[in-house]
Amino acid sequence: MAGQRRSPTQVDVARRAGVSQATVSLVISGGALGNQVAESTRQAVLQAAAELGYTVNAVARSLKGGRNRMLGLYTFEPVFPVDQRDFYFPFLLGVEEATAAYGYDLLLFSSAGSGGDRRIYAGGVNRLKVADGCVLLGRHLHRDDLAELAKEDFPFVFVGRREVPGVELSYVAADYVGATSEMVAHLARLGHRRLAYLKVTDDREWTRDREAGFRQGLVAAGIPDDQVRVFAMDERAALSAVRLQDWLAAGITAVLVEPTDDDSAIVALENAAAEAGVRIPDDVSVAVLGDPPLSEATARDWTRFTLPREQMGREAVRILLELLNDNVSARQLYLDCTQVAGDSVTELPE
């Protein structure tokens, strides 16, 4: 078994077909140039290649700058570990589906390591280049990795809006601004005109976008700033029952919660409510600005919006191929979220 026989190269094929290696290259992967080859020569080469079981070496081709019909998927967090699966899997599905539809293969850069902190340039090596281009995914990215990638002019598209100073990135993002603004409108229509906004302090694109949408929604609904409370939560400042009661005393009737990558913000709110003896939605309405994975405890039909995750994956691939084939510059795409009515928001009596 296992002759460990090195696989045939174009030189081998050339020898067998009685032509030069360059000619073999031309017929195997010449594209337009391949048409210059005489039909008889082409047949001889193809036959020799088939007889030897020749396949082109993707690495050599990449090195030279050729294409491999391979798209990469790089994630800054491991996609497969149990707690992240539900969140990331739909993106993966979308990416895989579109990749297949366009006739490409999908390279999962799992070698980056299963540890939490993944780097594109781990050990000073950029693996990504074996692929023709790459879809990037994950919240805990490294901006300098992205800057470096962009500097190298390697085609990539991020799933989710990402800003890197001085670099114009391509991405496919959920329209958090619109979805949040729409949520405010929804609440306003139900009579809620005094709102609290519970956010995480982490100053990230999605945090800023939602807050911008919130402000925009306030303006559209004609709700003045003094009717609003904004509270930023972090490790040191959790939401207390006292604060929640303060809000209610001040006339707040609805809370908008920005979820992080888990349901901790929601849990915090529920705990505060339980402690304060406040019922949802009877005493206060709650709208969740997204659809994070929920643990057993928080599993209820929250009023929320969902991200078009599979579609985001698909569109990222589509844009990546545009970057690749049409030589266009960076592109940004926003996709609509879907509002889900849920049962954590109720109409306010006049």
Q: Which residues bind its own copies (CB under 8 A)?
A: 1-7, 28, 46, 49-50, 53-63, 66, 68-70, 78, 80, 93, 96-97, 99-101, 103-114, 121, 123-130, 148, 151-153, 155, 168, 323, 327-330
Residue 72 beta carbon to its own copies: minimum distance, rounded to whole angstroms: 8
How far is residue 169's CA from residue 162's CA, in Å, rounded to a whole number? Answer: 7
Is the Cα dihedral 117, 65, 153, 133 positive or negative?
Answer: negative
Residue 6 binds DNA (CB under 7 A): yes
Query: Of 241 and 324, which has the nearer Cβ to its own copies?
Result: 324
Applying CB under 7 A, among 15, 61, 208, 243 the residue interacting with DNA is 61
How far is residue 14's CA from residue 276's CA, in Å, rounded to a whole number? Answer: 81
Maximum C-alpha span of the chain: 90
Residue 180 binds DNA (CB under 7 A): no
How far is residue 123's CA from residue 137's CA, in Å, rounded to a whole number? Answer: 20
Residue 29 binds DNA (CB under 7 A): yes
Measured between alpha carbons, how far is residue 232 from residues 85, 201, 204, 207 in Å?
Answer: 28, 5, 13, 11
Query: Of 42 and 161, which has the nearer Cβ to DNA?
Result: 42
Query: Of 35 and 47, which has the nearer Cβ to its own copies?
Result: 47
Contact criterion met (CB below 8 Å) for 190 and 285: yes
| Measured torsion, CA atoms of residues 107, 109, 114, 120, in degrees rounded to the nearest 10 | -170
Binding partner selected for residue 2 from its own copies, DNA, none, CB under the kind-specific 5 to 8 Å limit? its own copies
Which residue reads 């140039």 in tokens? Answer: 33
Residue 31 binds DNA (CB under 7 A): yes
Neighbours of 47 (CB within 10 A): 13
Residue 99 beta carbon to its own copies: minimum distance, rounded to whole angstroms: 5
How far is residue 44's CA from residue 28's CA, in Å, rounded to a whole number? Answer: 12
Applying CB under 7 A, among 60, 237, 274, 341 the residue interacting with DNA is 60
Residue 151 beta carbon to DNA: minimum distance, rounded to whole angstroms: 14
Residue 342 binds DNA (CB under 7 A): no
Contact criterion met (CB below 8 Å) for 37 and 30: yes
Exposed / middle / buried, residue 293 (Cβ in 10 Å: 0-12, 13-18, 19+):
middle
- The count of chain residues that interact with DNA, using the rule CB under 7 A, is 33
Residue 131 binds DNA (CB under 7 A): no
Which residue reads 């659809």 in tokens? Answer: 291
Query: Of 143 and 151, which has the nearer Cβ to its own copies?
Result: 151
Which of these ranges, 10-18, 158-166, 185-193, 227-235, lies near DNA under the rule CB under 7 A? 10-18
Contact criterion met (CB below 8 Å) for 318 and 159: no
Query: Of 34 and 191, which has the nearer Cβ to DNA?
Result: 34
Element containing residue 318 per DSSP (H, E): helix 309-325
Applying CB under 7 A, among 2, 4, 5, 40 the residue interacting with DNA is 40
Residue 297 beta carbon to its own copies: minimum distance, rounded to whole angstroms: 25
CA atoms within 13 A on the CB side of 338: 7
Which of these ranges, 14-22, 95-103, 185-193, 338-346, lies near DNA under the rule CB under 7 A? 14-22
End-to-end, the C-alpha distance of the chain in Å comes to 82
Query: Of 103 and 349, which has the nearer Cβ to its own copies?
Result: 103
Binding partner selected for residue 3 from DNA, its own copies, none, CB under the kind-specific 5 to 8 Å limit? its own copies
Exposed / middle / buried, residue 326 (Cβ in 10 Å: 0-12, 13-18, 19+):
exposed
Query: Of 201 and 325, which has the nearer Cβ to its own copies?
Result: 325
Residues of this chain that interact with DNA (CB under 7 A) are 6, 9-11, 18-23, 25-26, 28-31, 33, 36-38, 40-42, 54-57, 60-61, 63-66
